[in-house]
C-alpha cells in the first residue's frame, strides 16, 4: 500500500497529529474499533492483514518541515509494531525522522518490539510510550488478543522502557464486562504496574460500535448479551472506575480516564 500522506489532524486529547505506519493489524483483537473508525467492513477477517504504508517515512520527513510542531500520536488506529515491522522497519524509520526534526511523539502499542527502538526514543525530547495491557491472564489475553504479544512480554517492555528513562504509561482497556473487569484481576495488574515503576495509567470501557459488536458476537456468542447490557449500564463502569481510582491512590499511580 503506497502512502499519500503521513500526518493527519488528531481528535484525541493531548495529540495534535496522528501517524499510522500500517493499514490493518495482525493482533486480531476481537474488541478492536479500527474497522468502525475506518469504515472498513469489506468481508476480510480482522487480523488477517496488515500492510506497511510504502514511502511513509519520506512523506513524513517533508511534512515535518512545513507543518506546525505538535505532539504526534504514533499508532492511534492500528498498532505501529506489527509482526512485519521487525523486517520492514517502517515505524522505526518514522521515529528516526521525528528525532531528526525534534518533534515530540507518543507511541501506543501492544508489542514488546518497541524495545528495539529505545535508542531512537531516547533521542526524542518529549517522547512517551503507552503500552496496552488488558489483563495478566494469559488464557484470557489469547482469547481477546490472539495475535498480540503476551502480557508478560509487554510487562518486560515496560520494565526496559522505565529503566531507559523514557516516560511510560499503561493503557488498561477496553475494560469488558464479565471478562477483564474483576477487582482481583485489576488489582493484580495495578500492583505489577506499580512494582515496575510506572506512575500513570489510562483506562477506558468497551465502547460498542456496529462492526465491533458483530465481530465480538461471532467470537463470544450468547456471552455478548450480558456484555452489551452491562456496557450500557453507567453504574457498572462507575463502580469499576471507583475501584481503579482508589487502588491507584494506594499505589501512588495517577489514573486517567481515556476520554
CA distance 110 to 40: 22
CA distance 47 to 142: 13
**46 pLDDT exceeds 90?**
no
CA distance 153 to 145: 13
Give 100-141 pLDDT, tens digit per residue.
999 999 999 999 999 999 999 999 999 999 999 999 999 999
For 251, the 3-state DSSP assignment is helix
pTM of the model: 0.94
> How many degrees, rounded to 5, is the angle at CA 170 between CA 146 and CA 25?
35
- pLDDT above 70 coverage of the chain, percent: 95
CA distance 116 to 48: 24
pLDDT at 80: 97
**258 pLDDT exceeds 90?**
no
Give 176-207 pLDDT, tens digit per residue.
999 999 999 999 999 999 999 999 999 999 99
* Sequence-separated contacts (24+) of 127-130 with Cβ below 8 Å: 127/166, 127/167, 128/166, 128/167, 128/168, 128/169, 129/161, 129/166, 129/167, 129/168, 129/169, 130/106, 130/168, 130/169, 130/170, 130/171, 130/202
> What mean pLDDT, rounded, does the chain reach?
94
pLDDT at 35: 80
Domain ranges of the chain: 8-257
Q: Scan for cell 499503561, then name that residue.
A: 170
What is the phi/psi pair of residue 205, to 5°? -85, 170
Q: Quick one: how many helices (H) and strands (E) in the chain?
A: 11, 10
Local confidence band at 72 (pLDDT 50, 70, 90 cut-offs): very high
| Assigned fold of 8-257 | TIM Barrel (3.20.20)
**165 or 258: which leads in pLDDT:** 165
Local confidence band at 3 (pLDDT 50, 70, 90 cut-offs): confident
Give 205-221 pLDDT, tens digit per residue.
999 999 999 999 999 99
pLDDT at 36: 76
Mean pLDDT is lowest, of 41-50, 59-68, 114-123, 225-234, for 41-50
Q: Scan for cell 460498542, then name that residue.
A: 208
**40 pLDDT exceeds 80?**
no
Distances (CA, A) of 22 to 1, 48, 151: 9, 13, 22
pLDDT at 137: 98
| Cβ–Cβ under 8 Å, residues 25 and 79 | yes
Local confidence band at 169 (pLDDT 50, 70, 90 cut-offs): very high
Q: Any idea how long the chain is?
A: 259
Amino acid at each position: 500500500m503506497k502512502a499519500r500522506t503521513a500526518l493527519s489532524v488528531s481528535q484525541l486529547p493531548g495529540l495534535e497529529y496522528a501517524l499510522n505506519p500500517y493499514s490493518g493489524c495482525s493482533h486480531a483483537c476481537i474488541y478492536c474499533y479500527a474497522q468502525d473508525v475506518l469504515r472498513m467492513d469489506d468481508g476480510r477477517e480482522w487480523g488477517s492483514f496488515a500492510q506497511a504504508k510504502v514511502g511513509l517515512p519520506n512523506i513524513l520527513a517533508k511534512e515535518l518541515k512545513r507543518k506546525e510542531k505538535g505532539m504526534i500520536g504514533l499508532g492511534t488506529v492500528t498498532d505501529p509494531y506489527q509482526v512485519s515491522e521487525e523486517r520492514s522497519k517502517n515505524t522505526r524509520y518514522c521515529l528516526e525522522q521525528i528525532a531528526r526534526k525534534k518533534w515530540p511523539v507518543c507511541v501506543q502499542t501492544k508489542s514488546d518490539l518497541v524495545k528495539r527502538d529505545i535508542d531512537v526514543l531516547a533521542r526524542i525530547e518529549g517522547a512517551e510510550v503507552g503500552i496496552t495491557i488488558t489483563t495478566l491472564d494469559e488464557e484470557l489475553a489469547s482469547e481477546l488478543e490472539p495475535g498480540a504479544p503476551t502480557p508478560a512480554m509487554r510487562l518486560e517492555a515496560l520494565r526496559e522502557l522505565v529503566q531507559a528513562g523514557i516516560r511510560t504509561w499503561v493503557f488498561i482497556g477496553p475494560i469488558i464486562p464479565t471478562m477483564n473487569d474483576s477487582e482481583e484481576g485489576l488489582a493484580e495488574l495495578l500492583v505489577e504496574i506499580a512494582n515496575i515503576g510506572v506512575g500513570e495509567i489510562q483506562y477506558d470501557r468497551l465502547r460498542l460500535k456496529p462492526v465491533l459488536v458483530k465481530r465480538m458476537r461471532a467470537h463470544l456468542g450468547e456471552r455478548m448479551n450480558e456484555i452489551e447490557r452491562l456496557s450500557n449500564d453507567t453504574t457498572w463502569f462507575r463502580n469499576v472506575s471507583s475501584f481503579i481510582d482508589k487502588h491507584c491512590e494506594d499505589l501512588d499511580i495517577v489514573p486517567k480516564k481515556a476520554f
